[in-house]
Structure formats: C-alpha cells, structure tokens
Structure 1
C-alpha cells in the first residue's frame, strides 16, 4: 500500500500520530508539522543570516557543513574543515534522536536560501553518495514541492509548511525525484493562490563511506546507470 505518513506534534504521543493519508500516495515520505518551535526558528535564522560564507549556486545561495555538495551530479563533495554541524542544530538533532533512535548520525548539512520566485530542478540525491534517510526542514515560508515517480511518471505535489520536517526514505528516497518549481506563487489544493516568500531549507544527510549503494532499486541506481555510460 502506498502512503504518506503525516504527523502533527501538537498531540501527546508521537508514535500514535503517524497515520496513513488517503489523499496522497508516496511511500516513504514522512511529514511532521511544527517540528521546529517559533523560538528555535528565530534562533536558527539569526545565526544563518549572520553567516558571511554563503556560496552562490544558480539563483540561490548555500552553506555546507561536514561535506560539500556537488550540484551538477547531486552527489557528495569533498570533506570540509568545518566537519561539526553548527550548535543551533543540536535541539533538532536531539529531537530526531528521540523520535528515531536507530537513525545514524548525520554528517552533512546543506542550508539553502531561496529568494522569492526561485526553486530547484527535479533531481534525486545520489544513491551511492548518501544514506537511506534525507531530512529537510523548511523555515520562514511554506512551499509546494513536486514529487515524480521515475517508474510511472506519477506526479504528486506536497505542501511543506513553515517549521516542518520532511523525511525521505524507501521509495521516495530512491525512486522519486523532487523539485521546487521556480515561480512566485503556489496553487493550493483548495484552489487558493498563495504568494511565496523567501525560504530557508536545512537538509541533513548521512554519507556512504565506501560510496557503494545496495538499494532495492537497481534500475534507478547510479551504480548501474554510471556503469552503462
């Protein structure tokens, strides 16, 4: 059964909050609203905006910690001198560890600032470079993210709320591309048009040390695609 796991942290028991949605069919996608508190968001944004080491990438700017990111190949880049993730991430990592205690330590952080009207082209993070879980937080403003099943071409739009957590695992991690279309507004499910604001995303990844992937999607895996080229 295909499903999206959807969570609202205003309830008491996290485990009981995960439920199947009859509206969206994306296996492996977990969305948690209000994962980040208003106070935590304010603290993170203060630190992020005070940073002077932004790198321009296409029509946005980015920061990397632990490892850089190769945007041409969507794979891991060289190890950086600032291996430690910034301390303002600690409360989020602690909450993640409590909710998902078996999840390995995240080694790569990408922070991206999206001016109004910008986005990211459809892509799938390199199988061999990164581990089975990708975590993304959305700050300042919500956005519609487009997912496409690379086997069936099915397209599903997901609204990522402000201060939310999105986890990609299983099918959505290895067999779906994701994108944010470059535009100044999003059409919502209820027919309303929502103007976009500037958005900050924080993406956490683990790194495969041997750069070998053993996933269950060999026809979409770079270990096979690259060997044929």
Structure 2
C-alpha cells in the first residue's frame, strides 16, 4: 500500500496519527479551543464533588490531572459542584476479572473506527438521522456481560441494577495512534438514561463540558474502574476522551440501555423494543485462548 493511502477509519472532521498529514486533514479548518476560558474542576469520587482548581486548564496532561485529583481530596470544597448522575467506582473489576474479560475481548476481530479507534459492536445498526433500527447482525451480548451486570447490581442496585443493555461497544484507544473521541452527547432517541463505561488496561480521563455554565470537569478513571453518566451528567454535559490523555493501550467497555420509547409500554416497544430486549438477553459464547 502506498504511503499516501489512508489506513484508518477516519472521515469528515475526524483524524488520528495515521491520517493527520493527509491532504484531507490539512484542508480542515481547525477550530479554536473554546474551553480555554472555562472554569476547570476535577471530580473527587470519595467526596462525590467536582472541586474547582486554578492549577489546570483545557490543555492539562493526564499526569497533571491525576496529581490535582489527589491533591483535591483534602482541599477546600468552597465553590465545589455536584454533578447529579455522575458515579465513578474504583476497582470495579479485580485484576483477575479484568484479565479474563480482556482474554475474551481479544479473541474477537477488531474493526477500524474513527479518530484512531478500533471497535467491537454488539447491538443493532442504528440510523440516527432517519430513526431506523436494523437487527440483522445483532445476535446477542458477549458471554462476559452477565458477570458485569451482576457486579453492577451487587455494588448499587438503585444506581446500577436492572440494567438491560441494548448495546455493548468495546472501543480500543492507542497512544501511538492519537486515538480520541470528540466531545459529544450520546443519542437520546434510542439510548436511555444510564451510560456505562468500564476502563480497561490503562487509566485515562473522561472530560466533561457544560457550555451553558462554561465549565470543564476532568474525571480521572483508573484502569478497572466503572463510570456511569446519567441524569444531569448525561443530558446537560458533553463528554469525550482526548488523545493526550491516552497512555499505551486502553479499552473502554461501553454499555447503553434503552430509551423510554423502546421500553415496555413505550411507543416503539412493539416495533423495535421487544425484539431488541430479546436479543440483548442472548449470550454469545467466545473462544478463550488456551492457557
């Protein structure tokens, strides 16, 4: 393959290390960082508060965020804010559980995605623009789903229990590819209130931004941690993972539940919801590598 050929899945305004020098990317209009003037917070899970800090900015590194998060465990909570619906659980998985899940994940073929990521999708094909759903390639969730869902219920049945995933998506990030996912809000038509992501292999940062409040919040996620974004965090804040917050390889195991219209009694339950729930309860066996 020639050196000018693009070897990634990027298109439009998205790019990664593999395509950043291509003509397509060179022609892109680089937007100014609108977060430079935003008030910066770091989330401290032990206090369940986002603590304001003058020591960080919109360009802060992963290590700077880790250090400031540690420092804010004992600093004043004056002007701190609570982001309703944000939950971070350290050590959600044990080292043995993480290894077992990773072994099963890596037996499945990875598909190129955008912004330097690769992905594995378990779920329907959704046309968000035209609001259509196809289930042809949806055969169920991977076999490790039950272990994760059971642990979620055991940890906090109120916040994390009764979770019926409509989609599980494993996203692989690599530092050498400058992998990232831009600031965004997940679709609100098909996906429900609670977005779940389990951070594997290496720690990273979930960056939250609230444009109406001109606020930026860094949530440091150690590896094996779980983050849940619901309620205010889901609907009033955007979220993303920036390329300079990736070290080595990272996998985000992400789950999304059904929106209200797709749940029993909802307008789209009969058309889509019932079948998606049925498929979501099927488990796909995976071939584990031999020891």
Normalising by structure 2, we get a TM-score of 0.57
State how far apart, in whole Å, the 1-side matches of 2:223 and 2:126 are. Answer: 24
The alpha carbon displacement at 1:180 in A equals: 1.0
The alpha carbon displacement at 1:80 in A equals: 4.8
State how far apart, in whole Å, the 2-side matches of 1:22 and 1:52 are. Answer: 38
Match runs of 1:134-173 below 5 Å: 134-173=195-234
Conserved 8 A contact 1:147-1:178: yes
State how far apart, in whole Å, the 1-side matches of 2:115 and 2:126 are. Answer: 14
CA gap 1:138/1:33 in 2 versus in 1, 3 angstroms = same
Structure 2 stretches lacking a partner, 5+ long: 1-41, 52-79, 264-291
The alpha carbon displacement at 1:22 in A equals: 6.1
Residue number in structure 1 paired with 2:241: 180
Secondary structure in 1 matching 2:88 = strand
Which structure has the larger Rg over C-alpha atoms? Answer: 2
Secondary structure in 1 matching 2:113 = strand
Secondary structure in 2 matching 1:162 = coil
Aligned residues: 187
1:64 matched to 2:132? The reply is no
Secondary structure in 2 matching 1:44 = helix
Conserved 8 A contact 1:76-1:207: no
1:84 matched to 2:140? The reply is yes
CA gap 1:76/1:181 in 2 versus in 1, 3 angstroms = farther
The alpha carbon displacement at 1:122 in A equals: 0.4
State how far apart, in whole Å, the 1-side matches of 2:253 and 2:218 are. Answer: 20
Structure 1 stretches lacking a partner, 5+ long: 8-18, 187-194, 213-229
Normalising by structure 1, we get a TM-score of 0.72
Residue number in structure 1 paired with 2:250: 199
- Partner residue of 2:49 out of 21, 24, 28: 21
- Partner residue of 2:153 out of 55, 77, 97: 97
Conserved 8 A contact 2:43-2:218: no
CA gap 1:58/1:78 in 2 versus in 1, 3 angstroms = farther
Q: Deviations over 1:96-155 (max 9, x none)?
A: 123225534122101100111311000001122211111110000011221001321211
1:49 matched to 2:98? The reply is no
State how far apart, in whole Å, the 2-side matches of 1:110 and 1:22 are. Answer: 28
Conserved 8 A contact 1:66-1:108: yes
1:114 matched to 2:170? The reply is no
Residue number in structure 2 paired with 1:189: none
CA gap 1:162/1:80 in 2 versus in 1, 3 angstroms = farther
The alpha carbon displacement at 1:28 in A equals: 1.6
- Partner residue of 1:131 out of 184, 192, 209: 192
CA gap 1:76/1:44 in 2 versus in 1, 3 angstroms = farther
